[in-house]
Chains A and B, each alone.
Chain A
Amino acid sequence: MTTDTPTLQLRGVSKSFGSVKALDDVDFEVNEGEVMALVGDNGAGKSTLIKSLAGIHPFDSGEVIFDGKPVSVHGPKDAAKLGLEVVYQDLALCDNLDVVQNMYLGREAHDVLYRLHESEMERRTAETLASLSVTTIRSTRQTVATLSGGQRQSVAVARAVMWNSRIVILDEPTAALGVAQTQQVLELVSRLADQKLGVVLISHNLHDIFEVADRITVLRLGRNAGLFEREKTTQEAVVHAITAGKPTKVSGIPGTGEAPE
């Protein structure tokens, strides 16, 4: 599954907010067709890392290497141009609009008179959902308000992959979901990797991570605290890295142990 050059590589990136070092000399990489989990306790720097990657607040120092070439990401548009899409925890969907309208929000297909190409958008939406085997949505003309949590997550993910994306970053995609819906979303995550996308999965739930991730990057207090291959590690080892020297018993909801300090 691993190719020679990772699709995305971060080398020694740092980011400070005033005197607070949110990220300190962090390395990170994702390969094509790989699910890379990003874990860490609250305040470990996960959110800062993805926000910086998405161009919301760029890194202070360090290198971002895309397809082996150094690039600079200075705004959300740069990130989108590279094929880097983020699905935020709150999904950013409009409840009053239907699935098609949400999938194309802000990037509607239109002619010179700004008239919408509804049929084209509806067909491509159906194709994208079908390619991701999202079969639970009855009609692409349902409003998002009528969808379940898992279906909304599917729409948000499908929206992210529709634009020839290379890397999709999912922020806590299963946090608010029930058991069956979590399973749906995890299957969707695996299918993204099958479609040769690089997936960055942020989660507090080690159970979910061990189900779909290929590798696991652990951050602790803004520094790298370990890189694991799922096949060759255990949940205990990962929890140990997250909390650094304080191995907690793995319960149903791991990663909720006390902060190291």
Chain B
Amino acid sequence: MSDAAPLTVQVAADEAGLSGAARTYFDRLRAGDMGSLPVIVGMALITIYFTLKVDVFFTAQNFDDLIPQLAGTALIAIGVVFVLLIGEIDLSVGILSGLCGVCVAWFASPETGHTVPGLVAIALAICFGALIGMLQGSIVALLGVPSFVVTLAGLLAFQGVIIKWIGQNATIGIQDQYINDMASYFFSKNAGWIIATGISVVFAGTVAAGARSRVRHGLPVGNVPLLVIRTGFVAAITFLFVAISNHARGVSFAGMLVIAMIAVGTFVARRTTFGRHVYAVGGNAEAARRAGINVPFIRIAVFMISGAMAAMGGIMFASRLQGVALSAGGGSTLLDAIAAAVIGGTSLFGGRGRVIGALLGAVVIGTIANGLALIGSDASTQFIVTGLILLAAVTLDTLSRRKLVASGR
């Protein structure tokens, strides 16, 4: 880090050409900036291991089953990423997802004497989650109570509310088609191809629009071959995804919902003033305040996002079971969601992380759970393995961060 480096301001950090891109990437790796590499390597190892262990693991059918299994965790983890970005924690998301699952079941179930249409019940449950998030966020942002305590209190209290709410029945079944379709609807083969084409076109269009805007403002476009390859890669993955799904039942609605929410979340986080302020509050709340950012508003809004995403995840879980039980949102729901966000590269200290990490982390955790279930392991093994992987992810993050600091990045 020499101050005397006589370089102009306009030069982008990336070198031109593909070999230049590769060099930049390896430089970054050497400096300790791992990006998504550990997750990808980890996924490859997990896949190879289970493929060798059980025949049914590496099949289109299992792939199609896996997506709805991990969808709930991925949805909750999106909200957790936002909360971690502002340097807070939300321990209530697991139980809150259960509570919102109870909420949707209660509104839509004839057993309880209500028959609100399914979509209305879903909307009500999401609003309910956001409202709870707003309450918790307000206590954190306006009164200054640590989020750890506020949401821990929420965890306990909502657990009680679930037991009171479900009461003597012990379960509430869901008969509404819309709610149950969330986890069990599969698109037709042609619809799958149309979706793949749509995603590829939208992604390519976004990349092209970004490049055009840079050209219009007289900025270097960056590494054009790399942009083209990245766009091609996304399209290839998308079509591969659909091709595998179409070998079984087709593309699941649950998977598409997760991808849509990841896209919306990424847009909000990276492309809007709100998202920018979220990162600023996580990086340096005092600087954000002095820059005129309404820090309490950002905090409350982020807890609302967390609550709403927990609700969506809870509805997904309820939809898979076609009902809710007393155990809704309990067990490893909370830890899976937080582990997914952290394994996906979100820092526990605020300001660093990406929304897509929620998906990557949920895929890792979901795949392990799926594989272990297939080889006949019980819950105990699953807890131990997930715990070890979470520890490995955080350790890797801590070590690479230390290296980043040492190399001045």
Contacts and interface: CB of A to CB of B under 8 A. Distances in A.
B41 interface: no
Identify the interface centre among B9, B217, B351: most chain A CB within 10 Å of its CB.
Answer: B9
A110 B274 CA distance: 11
Interface string A92-118: 111111000100011110100111101
Contacts of A186: none
Nearest to B275: A116
A185 B28 CA distance: 29
Contact of B5 (A110, A113, A136): A136
Contacts of A97: 276, 279-280, 283
B276 A141 contact: no
B168 interface: no
Interface of A: 76-77, 88, 91-97, 101, 105-108, 110, 113-116, 118-120, 122-123, 126, 129-130, 134-143, 145-146, 148, 150-151, 180-181, 184
A145 B279 CA distance: 14
B408 interface: yes
A128 to B, nearest CB: 9
B288 interface: yes
A30 B272 CA distance: 39
A140 B408 CA distance: 16
Nearest to A146: B409
Contacts of A94: 279-280, 283-284, 287-288, 351
B11 A138 contact: yes
B293 to A, nearest CB: 5
Contacts of B277: 106
A115 B271 contact: yes
B219 A122 contact: yes
B408 A93 contact: no
Given A105-B291, A135-B9, A114 B272 contact: yes
A126 B210 CA distance: 18
B214 interface: yes
A101 B272 CA distance: 12
B217 to A, nearest CB: 4
Nearest to B3: A136
A150 B3 contact: yes
B286 interface: yes
B349 to A, nearest CB: 10
30 contacts: A76-B292, A92-B286, A92-B290, A94-B279, A94-B287, A94-B288, A96-B282, A96-B352, A97-B276, A105-B280, A105-B291, A106-B291, A110-B273, A115-B272, A116-B271, A119-B214, A119-B219, A122-B219, A123-B217, A134-B9, A135-B8, A138-B7, A138-B13, A139-B13, A140-B9, A145-B409, A146-B1, A148-B1, A148-B3, A180-B4
Nearest to B404: A145
Given A92-B284, A96-B351, A138 B5 contact: yes
B293 A119 contact: no
A93 B280 CA distance: 9
Given A106-B293, A180-B3, A181-B3, A114 B287 contact: no
Residue among A119, A181, A184 with max Cβ neighbours from chain B (10 Å): A119
A96 B351 CA distance: 6
Contacts of A76: 292
A123 B286 CA distance: 27
